[in-house]
A and B are shown apart, each in its own frame.
Chain A
Amino acid sequence: MSKVRFSSILKLTVLSTVLAFTSNVSADPVKAAFVYIGPTGDHGWTYAHDEGVKYAKEKLGDDVIMTTIENVAENSDSERVITSLARKNDIVFTTSFGYMNPTVKVAKRYPDVKFEHATGYMLEDNVSVYSARFYEGRHVIGKIAGRMTESNVVGYIASFPIPEVIRGINSAFLAAKSVNPDVQIKVVWVYSWYDPGKEADAANALIAQGADVLMQHTDSTAAMTVAEENGVYAFGQASNMREWGPNAQLTGIINDWGPYYADRIAAVRDGTWSSSDTFAGVQQGMVKFAPMNNNMPTEVKNEAMQAIIDLSMGKIHPFTGPINKQDGSPWLAEGETPPNFPDLLTMDFYVEGIDSQYPN
C-alpha cells in the first residue's frame, strides 16, 4: 500500500475513533444496519434476512434501531452504501457474498464499528463472518426426494456455480442416493438468482425430462408454482413457500437468521461483541424446516424427522466417507468427514455418481 493512502486512512481512523467514542458515551440504543442484495419481497434470500431483522427488533425492542437498505448491487456502489451506514451505525450486516471486499475495506477505515459479513471468508478484528450449513438442509430434502421420486429423476435448478450451491447439490444427491440407489440428479444452471420466468422455464424443462421432484437454489417462488401446476413435488427455498405450492411443497429449508442477529446486536449493546466465524446449521437452529406436508407417507416423514434429529444432535454429517469425486478419485475415506476449510468452503467438484457435467 502506498504511503499516501496509508496516511489518509490513518487520518480517517482517528476521526472516526473520536466520533465513535463520543457516540458511545450515552446509553443510546444500538444502531444496527443491514445491506440487502435483493428486494425484501423476493420471498427467498433477502426476505429471510428481513424476517431475521424483524425477529431481532421484536426481541430487543427499544435497545436497537434498525436500518435496512435493499437492492444494493454487488459492485463499487456497495462500498459507498456500507460507508454511509458505518458512519451512522454501531454494527453493519452485509448479507451477500459480493460485499466481502467492500466490507473489509470499509471496516479498516471504521475500526470502532462492528461488521458482520454473510457467506464470506475474510475475518478481521471488527469483521465477523457468518453463514449457515444449508447443505444440512439439503441432506434432509435429499432423503425425502430419494423416497418420493417415482421416475428416479430429481431436477435441480441452480443459480451460479459457487461452493455453497455445489455443496447443496452434492449433499442432496448423496442423501437421495443413500435411500434410492437408482436416483439421478439433473442440474440446470440459470445464471441468475432471481428471474421468475427463467426459473419457471427451467422447472418446465426438468419436468419434461422426467423429473418429478424439484429442488432449487434460486430465490423466487416460480419453480414451486410450476411444480404445483404440474403435480410434481418441490421444496421451499430460504422461506416457507407453502402458499405457492400447497400440494407441491413437501417441506422447505428455512434460513433462520433471527436469533443470530439478536445475539450479535445484544453483544454490541453489552460490550461483549468480538469478531467470530460462525458456520451454523440445524444444531444451532440457523437451518430450519417448513412443516412436513401431510401428503407424504408416514415412513418418509419419520425418516426425514430422524435425519433432522440426528443433525441437530450432531450425530451425522451429510458428507461422511467413503465418497469419491465425480472423476473417481477418492475424496473422503471410510468414516471421514470433511473440514470446513478447504473442503467445504471451496468445494468445486461433483461427487461420484452425478451424471451432469461440472460447469466451468
Chain B
Amino acid sequence: MNESLFINIIIGISIASTPLIFAAIGELLVERSGVLNLGVEGMMIVGALLGFVVQFHTGNPFLAVFAALLGGMAISSIFAFLTQFLLTNQVATGLALTLFGLGFSAFAGRGYTEETIVLIKAIHIPVLSDIPFIGPLVFSMNPLVYLAFFMVYLVWWFLFKTKQGLILRSIGDNHDAAHAIGHNVVRYRFMAILFGGAMAGVGGAFLSLVQVPIWGEDMTAGRGWIALGLVVFASWLPFRIILGAILFGGITVLQLHAQGFDIRISAQYLSMLPYLATILILVSLRIRLKNKTNRTVPNCLGRIFHSTS
C-alpha cells in the first residue's frame, strides 16, 4: 500500500467517524446524568438541515455550525421538557423525537434539495501541513474533526475533573441521594440533554457541511443509532468513544476499499463486518475486564426522577 493511499484511507475514516464522535459524546454526557435519549437520529437530521440552510443563505461556516448546534438543542428541549417536567418514559419519548425530527426536517427542507453549498474545507497550516506523512495526517484535517476530539476531551474533563461533573455523575448513579443532599437533579439533566442535542446537531451537520454539500431527507441514514451503540460500546468512558467511532467508521470505509481491491468476500458479508466487529470487540473487552466490577454504567439510566419535597 502506498503512502498517499494510506493517508487517503485515514482521512476517509476521520470523515466517516466524526459525526459519530459528536453524536456519541453528547449522548454519553446525557446518559451519565441518568437519562437515555433514543432521539439521536432525529436531532442529527435537524442539525444537518439547519447547518445546510444557514450555510446556503449566509455562506458563513461559523454561523452554520452554530445554527446546527442550536437546532439540535431546540429539538432536544422537547425531550427535556417531556421527560424532566412531565416525567414521560424516556425510551418512548426518544423514539418519538426521532420520528418527529425526521418528519420535521423532511418537511421543512423540501425547498433545499435542489441546492448546493460551499463545503467547510480542511485546514492548511503553512510548514506544518507540508511535513511528509505527519503533515497531512495531523495538521491537515477538517477543523470540525479537531473540534470533535476537543469535545471528547472537554466532556472527560468536565465529568472527571470538575465539581459539577462529579455531581452530574452522582445524579446518574443515584438521583434520590443526590437530591437529598440538595442537588437540582432536573436542572442538571435538562442541561445535559440540551448539550446532547447540540452535539448531535453538529454531528448531523458534519454530514451536510463537510462530507457532502447537499441536503436530502433521511441523509443521516441510521448514524444516530450507531452513535447510541457507541456509548454502550465505550462503557460510558469518553475516550473510548473515539476508539469505537474510529473502529466503526474504519471498518465501514475499509470494506469499501476492500471491494475496490477485490477481496473475494461477498459484499453483503463485508457490509456486516462493522456491526459484527462491534459486538466482538465488546465481548472481548468484557472478557478482559471480567474480574473488575464495572462501575461506569449509570445506575439510574432511564429511570424517572420525581422529587416529592
- Contacts from A to B (Cβ < 8 Å): 39, 41-43, 155, 186-192, 194-202, 204-209, 220-222, 225-226, 229, 243-244, 355-357, 359-360
Contacts and interface: CB of A to CB of B under 8 A. Distances in A.
A201 B16 contact: yes
Contacts of A197: 16, 19, 207, 211-212, 219-221, 223
26 contacts: A39-B106, A39-B217, A41-B109, A43-B114, A187-B259, A191-B267, A191-B268, A195-B219, A196-B214, A196-B216, A197-B219, A200-B211, A201-B16, A201-B256, A204-B11, A205-B9, A208-B4, A208-B9, A220-B216, A221-B212, A222-B211, A225-B119, A225-B212, A356-B259, A356-B262, A357-B262
B88 to A, nearest CB: 28
Nearest to B270: A189
B8 interface: yes
Interface of B: 4-5, 8-9, 11-12, 15-16, 19, 106, 109-110, 113-114, 116, 119, 207, 211-214, 216-221, 223, 252-253, 256-257, 259-262, 264, 266-268, 271
A219 to B, nearest CB: 9
Given A191-B267, A191-B271, A197-B223, A208 B12 contact: yes
A214 B213 CA distance: 18
A195 B19 CA distance: 15
Given A197-B212, A357-B264, A359-B267, A209 B5 contact: yes
Given A191-B268, A208-B9, 6 more contacts: A39-B217, A195-B221, A204-B8, A208-B12, A221-B116, A225-B213
A41 B259 contact: no
Contact of A360 (B213, B219, B266): B266
A197 B19 CA distance: 11
A284 B216 CA distance: 32
A42 B113 contact: yes
Contact of A200 (B212, B261, B271): B212
A194 B5 CA distance: 26
A41 B49 CA distance: 14
Nearest to B268: A191
Contacts of B262: 186, 355-357
Which applies to chain B's interface (DSSP): helix, strand, loop or mixed? helix
A87 B69 CA distance: 46
A189 B272 CA distance: 13
Given A43-B114, A229-B119, A220 B271 contact: no
Contacts of A201: 12, 15-16, 252-253, 256
Nearest to B220: A197
Contacts of B114: 41, 43, 243
A43 B112 CA distance: 11
Nearest to B116: A244
Contact of B113 (A43, A187, A192, A360): A43
Given A191-B271, A192-B221, A197-B223, A202 B256 contact: yes
A39 B12 CA distance: 28
Nearest to A199: B212
Contacts of A355: 262
Nearest to A226: B212
A200 to B, nearest CB: 5
Given A204-B15, A205-B253, A208-B12, A186 B260 contact: yes
Contacts of B8: 204, 207-208
Contacts of A43: 113-114, 216
Contacts of B212: 196-197, 199-200, 220-222, 225-226
A221 B15 CA distance: 18
Nearest to B263: A357
A209 B261 contact: yes
A225 B252 contact: no
Contacts of B19: 197
Of the candidates B9, B15, B260, the one having the most CB atoms from chain A within 10 angstroms of its own CB is B260
A42 B218 CA distance: 10
Nearest to A209: B260
A208 B267 contact: no
Of the candidates B19, B116, B271, the one having the most CB atoms from chain A within 10 angstroms of its own CB is B116
A337 B112 CA distance: 44
Of the candidates B113, B261, B271, the one having the most CB atoms from chain A within 10 angstroms of its own CB is B113
Contacts of A360: 266
A229 B15 CA distance: 14
A192 B216 CA distance: 14
A219 B211 CA distance: 17
B216 A188 contact: no
Contact of A194 (B109, B110, B213, B216): B216
Contacts of B266: 359-360
A350 to B, nearest CB: 12
Given A189-B267, A197-B223, A225-B116, A206 B260 contact: yes
A41 B221 contact: no
A197 B223 CA distance: 10
A222 B48 CA distance: 15
A194 B267 CA distance: 17
A190 B9 CA distance: 17
A355 B19 CA distance: 34
Q: Which 7 A-B pairs have the closest CB atoms?
A: A41-B113, A208-B8, A205-B256, A189-B267, A222-B212, A195-B221, A209-B260
Contacts of B11: 204
Of the candidates A186, A188, A226, the one having the most CB atoms from chain B within 10 angstroms of its own CB is A188
Contacts of A188: 256, 259-260
Of the candidates B5, B16, B213, the one having the most CB atoms from chain A within 10 angstroms of its own CB is B213
A142 B7 CA distance: 30
A355 B271 CA distance: 20
